[in-house]
């Protein structure tokens, strides 16, 4: 969506605008930069307010502190300080130019030249800045590129990738989010030529970018582009054919990156070559790895034909996000049932409270069962009965059933 309100008005409506006003009162030359300007322009939600200033970081810090803001020197060596105003962080970075680059990181020097700072940014759509009057500074045609869905490097694509190979992944990240029409040819050629450089990046960085790419609305086109440039095999070795992902996307999935990753690595390995732990390969967090493993487990099974009792049984043993994730994966893999049936199943699952088994050890003791292995066995039996009843029996009913089963004392 493209917004036509004046930029000043759009900025005034941003959450955290009061903090911006205070920063502008302390350092009037400060401008909003990078992603927040891009997102204001196209009406997306703005999540971080990043600013740049021509003042050296120490001076910016002094001015902001004098204006009563709490300032944390979060990255002084990169020129970044964080002002915290009304509990909200604002990163203020001194304008920089690259002195030297090593394929990932740059040695930088401060500058007071806005264009020099814009020049070291990756894409034209990320090199925009906006001052407190709502004036847009667009040195490389970023606004027009954003309108056209063009992700274009600032400067020569190959040189920018040689400076920092992460930019290949960033290209795909922004293409997945904003890309329209034919992708920039120069960028694609440079990525094809330099794709092996991505293998030098830390896998954690690669994984962070991949998860962002996988959340993108233009994912399928992006994945095909990654395939065409030879990047996909570098980044996601042994993935399943893209047709599996295509089916998931056709189900209008909720753009959850882990579902999309899971569909590319079904149980047994993506391309059948035994590469089955993509979570370990990407060094994902333990939580994300546990989710991927749970998506892949065949039990408890899930089907649109399940009645409420059966659904309560699976809901008892499994958390909702896992069940919802599984439902999308099964829907994508098993064609044949209408999408509406799967939506209804998810609706029923989401409405259902997780059943709680109503007996505990002390209830058993009150009925004369001795603590120890015997109690464990009886608890298991009564739980099995409760599950068979669709998790509906309350504590009294469970006690009554148990009493009827217990041998007379």
Looking at 75-83, 121-129, 292-300, 395-403, which segment touches ligand ATP (CB under 6 A)? 121-129
Residue listed under structure tokens 């199943």: 345
d(CA 261, CA 206): 14
Residue listed under structure tokens 């030879």: 230
> Looking only at Cα atoms, what is the longest distance across the chain?
90
Q: What mask of x and - would describe binding to ligand ATP in positions 134 to 173, judged by CB under 6 A?
A: ------------------------------x-xx--x---
| Cβ atoms < 10 Å from Cβ of 328 | 22
Residue 184's binding partner out of ligand ATP, Mg ion, none, with CB under 5 to 8 Å set by partner kind: none
CA torsion through residues 78, 79, 84, 85, sign: negative
121 is a site residue for ligand ATP (CB under 6 A): yes
Looking at 40-48, 128-136, 146-154, 183-191, which segment touches Mg ion (CB under 5 A)? 40-48
Q: What mask of x and - would describe binding to ligand ATP in positions 45 to 64, judged by CB under 6 A?
A: -----x--------------
d(CA 155, CA 101): 15
Residue 166's binding partner out of ligand ATP, Mg ion, none, with CB under 5 to 8 Å set by partner kind: ligand ATP
Q: Please, which of residues 44-83 interact with Mg ion by CB under 5 A?
A: 48
35 is a site residue for Mg ion (CB under 5 A): yes
Comparing CA positions, the residue from 250, 251, 248 lying closest to residue 261 is: 248
User: C-beta of 334: minimal distance to ligand ATP in Å?
Assistant: 34
Q: Which residue is nearest to ligand ATP (CB)?
A: 35
216 is a site residue for ligand ATP (CB under 6 A): no
CA torsion through residues 246, 248, 251, 252, sign: negative
Q: DSSP label at 134?
A: -
* H-helix or E-strand spanning residue 73: strand 70-75
206 is a site residue for ligand ATP (CB under 6 A): no
Q: Could you give the C-alpha distances from 83 to 33, 76, 86, 95, in angstroms and in order?
A: 16, 13, 10, 17
User: C-beta of 209: minimal distance to Mg ion in Å?
Assistant: 13
User: C-beta of 373: minimal distance to ligand ATP in Å?
Assistant: 55
CA atoms within 13 A on the CB side of 64: 31
Question: Which one, 222 or 327, has the nearer CB to ligand ATP?
Answer: 222
Question: Which one, 164 or 184, has the nearer CB to ligand ATP?
Answer: 164
Report the DSSP beta bridge partners of residue 81: 92
User: C-beta of 61: minimal distance to ligand ATP in Å?
Assistant: 20
Q: Point out which residues bind ligand ATP (CB under 6 A).
A: 34-35, 50, 121-122, 126, 164, 166-167, 170
Q: Point out which residues bind Mg ion (CB under 5 A).
A: 35, 48
């Amino acid at each position: 969506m493209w917004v036509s309100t004046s930029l000043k008005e759009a900025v005034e409506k941003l959450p955290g605008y009061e903090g911006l006003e205070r920063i502008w009162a302390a350092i009037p030359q400060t401008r909003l930069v990078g992603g927040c300007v891009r997102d204001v322009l196209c009406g997306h939600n703005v999540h971080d307010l990043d600013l740049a200033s021509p003042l050296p970081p120490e001076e910016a810090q002094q001015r902001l502190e004098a204006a009563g803001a709490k300032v944390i020197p979060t990255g002084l060596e990169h020129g970044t300080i964080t002002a915290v105003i009304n509990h909200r962080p604002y990163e203020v970075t001194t304008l920089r130019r690259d002195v030297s680059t090593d394929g990932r990181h740059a040695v930088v020097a401060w500058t007071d030249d806005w264009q020099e700072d814009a020049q070291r940014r990756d894409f034209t759509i990320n090199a925009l800045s906006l001052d407190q009057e709502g004036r847009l500074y667009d040195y490389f045609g970023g606004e027009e590129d954003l309108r056209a869905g063009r992700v274009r490097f600032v400067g020569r694509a190959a040189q920018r990738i040689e400076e920092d190979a992460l930019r290949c992944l960033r290209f795909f990240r922004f293409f997945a989010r904003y890309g329209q029409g034919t992708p920039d040819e120069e960028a694609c050629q440079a990525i094809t030529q330099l794709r092996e450089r991505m293998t030098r990046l830390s896998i954690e960085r690669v994984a962070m970018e991949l998860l962002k790419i996988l959340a993108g609305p233009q994912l399928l086109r992006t994945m095909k582009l990654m395939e065409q440039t030879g990047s996909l095999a570098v980044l996601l070795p042994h993935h399943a054919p893209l047709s599996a992902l295509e089916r998931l996307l056709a189900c209008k999935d909720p753009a959850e990156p882990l579902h999309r990753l899971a569909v590319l690595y079904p149980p047994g390995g993506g391309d059948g070559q035994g590469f089955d732990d993509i979570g370990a390969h990407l060094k994902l967090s333990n939580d994300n790895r546990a989710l991927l493993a749970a998506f892949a487990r065949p039990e408890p099974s899930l089907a649109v034909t399940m009645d409420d009792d059966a659904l309560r049984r699976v809901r008892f043993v499994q958390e909702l996000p896992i069940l919802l994730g599984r439902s999308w994966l099964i829907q994508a893999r098993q064609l044949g049932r209408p999408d509406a049936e799967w939506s209804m199943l998810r609706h029923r699952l989401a409405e259902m409270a997780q059943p709680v088994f109503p007996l505990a050890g002390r209830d058993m003791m009150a009925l004369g069962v001795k603590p120890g292995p015997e109690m464990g066995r009886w608890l298991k039996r009564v739980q099995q009965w409760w599950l068979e009843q669709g998790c509906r029996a309350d504590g009294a009913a469970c006690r009554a059933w148990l009493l009827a089963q217990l041998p007379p004392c």
